[in-house]
Amino acid sequence: MLGRMKPAQICKQILGPEKLLEVLGQLSTPQVKAVLKEGGVKVKLPGGYVSQQKRRALWTDKITAAIDTDNDDAASELLQQWLLHHQRPMLVDLLDRIGVKHRQGETDESFLIANSAEKLRDAATWLLGRHDRVEAVAYLRYIAYQQRSPVFDGWDGLDLAGPEQAPPTD
């Protein structure tokens, strides 16, 4: 059971190293540059880095190092870019399930504050069953951080292991 998490914690503890690299691999060059810029990470590369592959590898290393040192600005921008550009169906699904008006998964409404914990946790449980659990947990924890909402604090529904199963009986 975890309380509210900051973006760097979400990246390190929820996504983990392998998934974080997968997420970084999904981002376009402009999206990666936005993460570097928002995180205050130096983007200027030495002259020998002509190939896109070499640049991407160096940028990925810089972003993961920034997140490892708890750079919440870089982690927040990474989550934002990834969710908006690569996980939009998940955003739409949750907002539709709660009944929030949105523009293709984007809303200015503080829907975690405006709805009951029971309604939100029911919608979160539904979302976790429809999407990759790690990705959905990262999304739910990130929106709770963004909206400064305690709705998921201490709720074991967002444990990565998922709901506990009763042991089989012989």
Profile the chain (170 residues) by mean pLDDT over runs of 10 residues: 84 96 95 94 73 86 96 97 95 94 88 94 96 96 95 88 46
2 found inside a domain: no
Distance CA 170, CA 163 (A): 21
Residues 121 and 81 in one domain: no
Would you state the pLDDT for residue 146?
Answer: 94
Number of folded domains that form the chain: 2
Are 143 and 129 found together in one domain? Answer: yes
Q: Do residues 77 and 39 both lie within one domain?
A: yes
167 is a domain residue: no
pLDDT score at 105? 85
Return the pLDDT at 48.
Answer: 67
Structural domain includes residue 31: yes
Among 66, 85, 104, the domain boundary falls at 85
Judge contact between 5 and 141, C-beta under 8 A.
yes
d(CA 70, CA 87): 23
Q: What is the DSSP letter of 15?
A: I
Return the structure tokens found at 147. 């909206």
Q: Do residue 97 and residue 65 come from a single domain?
A: no
Q: What is the pLDDT of residue 162?
A: 57
DSSP 109: S
Q: What share of residues in the chain are helix, strand, coil (percent, to 5)?
A: 65, 0, 35
pLDDT at 49: 62
Whether the Cβ atoms of residue 36 and residue 27 lie closer than 8 Å to each other = no
User: What range defines the domain where residue 97 resides?
Assistant: 87-158
